[in-house]
Amino acid sequence: MNKTLHTFFTHLWQSVLYWILAMMLWGIFRYYGLPEEQGIRIEIETKNALQMKKILPLFAFSGFLVGVLYASVEFAFEKYASKRYSIGLNIILKTLIYLIFIILIATLMIELGTNLLGVEKNNELGWWRRDKGFWVTVLYFLVGSLVFSFINIASDKFGKGVFLKMLVGSYKKPQEEERIFMFLDLKSSTTIAEVLGHFKYSQLIQDCFYDLNEIVPTYYAEIYQYVGDEAVLSWPYKKGLTNHNCVALFFAFQDLLKLRNSYYMDKYGLIPEFKAGLHGGKLMVAEVGVVKKELAFHGDVINTSARIQAECNKHNVPVLLSEELKNDLMVNGRYSTKSIGNLLLKGKKKELNVFTISQT
């Protein structure tokens, strides 16, 4: 619950900051266009006294209200409605909610403008229906929402802070980073696919990854890619070690699947289980492609993580990690580790000491 609240408040301050800046910019536009606005009467004394320093706080306050509204609606829909309703229905419902609250916020701003700035504007019931200025503001909000959504989507895809680096071309040349990778794969996937058939099997994978996405932000993970029934996750090295995030996510995912066991049993006749391999270290990251541009990680860390995960079935354990990562995690009483031994992983020339880890 605490991490869920932390995630919400992170979205909240980002949304509030964005919309305060956006509405202050809108205030500047409106200020210089004010003498031409239809339906507004400004006394000469008021016009002379009306200064930018009085306009901007009003629009900043409206931005604060819009930011709180936007963050709350988006968080609520993402958590409770994204899996229940189609994308189209989600958009329609959110649009209606935004429209209602924008009318309320705009009415409040008109009232404040009348009392504080001496700007007289019609705010009788239903004033917004024929008010051109209101609909221009709604259009501005829609454009601002698209920009903010684009920034969030790009940030989620590439990772926090990475999108800005891509904008300035930091990854045009390969950069060295230190990261932890987890290869997360469905156990007995071939057998399950044969039993369920390709259509229901695809639904199963979709449901599992929906559940995975519920906890990914909580443990500060970044989803690098989905490959069939496998998800590849990564963390900046220190962030993955903090609070044992890289292994805590795996056990949290296991617990979530168990909590939803009745759902999976009713729909698929089974409870999905996953296996994971983890390793960390330095590797290269670079911007690749032209038509479908993305960030790609190159290095032994990724290959080793995949090879470690492949050993889970052989040793009948759900999760394995390298000795190097195990030592850096400094596992406390919450977890216990056990050495599987030195393994010669596929494609490797040197043996690697691999450990399994479990909750105590």
**Tens digit of each residue's pLDDT (9 = 90 or more) over 291-346:** 767 788 899 999 999 999 999 989 999 999 999 999 999 887 789 999 998 887 88
Residue 234: the pLDDT is 93
Given the DSSP bridges, would you call strands 274-288 and 319-322 parallel, antiparallel or unpaired? parallel
Q: Are residues 220 and 135 in the same domain?
A: no
| Cβ neighbours of 182 (radius 10 Å) | 26
The Cβ of residue 319 has, within 10 Å, a number of other Cβ atoms equal to 22
Among 135, 158, 181, which residue terminates a domain?
158
Same domain, 63 and 185: no
Residues 185 and 61 in one domain: no
Asked if residue 188 and residue 105 are part of one domain, the reply reads no
Structural domain ending residue among the three candidates 139, 158, 177: 158
197 and 148 in one domain? no
What is the CA angle 169-236-186, rounded to 5? 110
Nearest alpha carbon to residue 247 among 320, 155, 159, 153: 320
209 and 99 part of one domain: no
**Residue 314: strand, helix, or coil:** helix
Are 142 and 263 members of one domain? Answer: no
Determine the pLDDT at residue 99.
87
Rounded to whole angstroms, the Cα distance separating 332 from 243 reads: 10
Place of tokens 């929906």: 210
Find the CATH number of the domain harbouring 328. Answer: 3.30.70.1230
Mark which of 158, 184, 210 sits at the end of a domain.
158
What's residue 47's pLDDT? 47
Residues 116 and 168 in one domain: no
Give every CB contact of residue 16 below 8 A, 6+ residues apart in sequence.
Answer: 63, 64, 67, 68, 71
In terms of domains, do 140 and 167 share one?
no
The rounded radius of gyration (Å) of the Cα atoms in the chain is 26
Judge contact between 102 and 141, C-beta under 8 A. Answer: yes
The 10s digit of each residue's pLDDT in 272-305 is 999 999 999 999 988 887 776 778 889 999 999 9
Bridge pairing between strands 230-236 and 175-186? antiparallel
Longest Cα separation, the chain = 86
42 shares a domain with 130: yes
Its domain, for residue 321, covers 162-359
Residues of the chain with pLDDT under 50: 36-49
- Sign, Cα dihedral of 42, 43, 44, 49: negative
Pairing of strands 294-298, 230-236: unpaired
Task: Report the distance separating Cα 215 and Cα 3, nearest Å.
Answer: 9
Query: How many domains is the chain partitioned into structurally?
Result: 2
Q: Is the dihedral of CA 338, 342, 344, 348 positive or negative?
A: positive
Same domain, 213 and 313: yes
Cα separation, 346 vs 335, whole angstroms: 28
Same domain for 256 and 330, yes or no, is yes
